[in-house]
């Protein structure tokens, strides 16, 4: 059975660590080499932890609140589509940190404290759109191996984040703002198509008559 890379492609488009490189550079200005390395490690691990927790516990949380997966797919698909539209405008897929979070992060950065978790990992890298994506694909996992593969994709995302942040200065120099924006828009287009698929699947489950007409 061929491995399904669609979850990894979707997650890579949603998280899009490349688009967060300018934020990483901004928040780590004045950091020592050791502080910057710690920020990379913590933010990458946090991104993995969010994905892993969503894969392992997301469905149980939905069941606790009595939310059907079909409804979650439609809502999650809409959220992904909203994220895709933001990316088509060269904005991060996940919500930007609000003004209070930015001020708090800059204050802690000045004091030498890590800003890896908030706002870098949450909400810039992983947030509601990422969690929704993982939960939707976790439901499709029929075996522990497939579920483990989904968690493994979280490791890949964490490593990609670490690589992008570690190479932030040369990436920013080579690609520039325009290059990063082009890449973000391309991923946004891919994410929009995947979002439509997720919503269509949810609508078919909620309204089986729609599937009969196809």
pLDDT in tens, 29-62: 888 899 999 999 999 999 999 999 999 999 999 9
How much is the pLDDT for 36? 93
Among 100, 164, 96, 152, smallest CA distance to 128 is for 96
On whether the CB atoms of residues 165 and 44 are closer than 8 A, the answer is yes
48, 155 Cβ separation under 8 angstroms: yes
pLDDT for residue 98 is more than 90: no
Q: Is residue 18 domain-resident?
A: yes
Residue percentage of the chain with pLDDT more than 70: 85
d(CA 20, CA 13): 12
**What is the helix (H) or strand (E) element at residue 174, kind and residue range?**
helix 168-206
Contact 161, 82 (CB under 8 A): no
pLDDT number for residue 207? 85
Q: In the predicted model, what is the mean pLDDT of residues 87-94? A: 77
The domain in which residue 142 lies consists of 6-204
**Residue 176, Ramachandran bin (φ over 0: left; ψ between -120 and 50: alpha; else beta):** left
Say whether pLDDT at 111 is over 50.
no
Mean pLDDT of all residues in 85-106: 68
Over residues 108-126, the mean pLDDT reads: 75
Instruction: Count the neighbouring beta carbons within 10 Å of the beta carbon of residue 67.
Output: 12
CB within 8 Å of 73: residues ≥ 6 apart:
136, 198, 199, 201, 202, 205
Average pLDDT over residues 6-31: 90
The answer to whether residue 50 sits within a structural domain is yes
Per the domain annotation, does 211 fall within a domain? Answer: no
115: buried, middle or exposed (CB in 10 Å: 19+, 13-18, 0-12)? buried
| Domains held by the chain: number | 1
Those residues whose C-beta lies under 8 Å from the C-beta of residue 133, and which sit 6 or more positions away, are: 7, 10, 11, 14, 76, 80
Residue 197, in any domain of the structure: yes
12 within some domain? yes
Question: Does residue 210 lie within any of the structural domains?
Answer: no
pLDDT at 65 exceeding the cut of 60: yes
pTM (global) more than 0.75: yes
pLDDT value at residue 144: 93
| 130-182 residue pLDDT tens | 999 999 999 989 899 999 999 999 999 999 999 999 999 998 888 888 888 88
Asked if residue 171 belongs to a domain, the reply is yes
How much is the pLDDT for 214?
52
Least confident of 17-26, 93-102, 118-127, 187-196: 93-102
The whole-number average pLDDT for the span 194-214 is 80
Kindly state the percentage of the chain with pLDDT values over 90: 42
Is 122 part of any domain? yes
Other Cβ atoms closer than 10 A to 182: 13
* 210: confidence class by pLDDT, cuts 50, 70, 90: low
């Amino acid at each position: 059975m061929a491995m399904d890379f669609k979850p990894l492609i979707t997650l890579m488009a949603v998280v899009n660590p490349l688009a967060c490189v300018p934020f990483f550079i901004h928040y780590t200005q004045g950091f020592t080499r050791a502080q910057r390395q710690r920020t990379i490690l913590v933010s990458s691990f946090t991104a993995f932890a969010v994905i892993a927790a969503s894969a392992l516990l997301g469905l149980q949380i939905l069941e606790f609140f009595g939310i059907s997966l079909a409804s979650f797919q439609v809502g999650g698909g809409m959220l992904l589509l909203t994220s895709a539209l933001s990316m088509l405008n060269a904005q991060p897929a996940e919500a930007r940190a609000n003004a209070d979070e930015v001020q708090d992060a800059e204050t802690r950065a000045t004091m030498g404290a890590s800003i890896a978790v908030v706002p870098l990992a949450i909400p810039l890298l992983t947030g509601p759109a990422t969690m929704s994506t993982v939960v939707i694909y976790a439901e499709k996992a029929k075996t522990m191996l497939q579920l483990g593969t989904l968690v493994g994709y979280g490791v890949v995302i964490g490593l990609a984040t670490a690589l992008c942040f570690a190479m932030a200065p040369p990436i920013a120099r080579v690609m520039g703002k325009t290059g990063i924006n082009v890449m973000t828009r391309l991923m946004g287009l891919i994410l929009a198509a995947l979002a439509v698929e997720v919503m269509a699947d949810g609508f078919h489950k909620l309204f089986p008559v729609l599937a009969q007409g196809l």
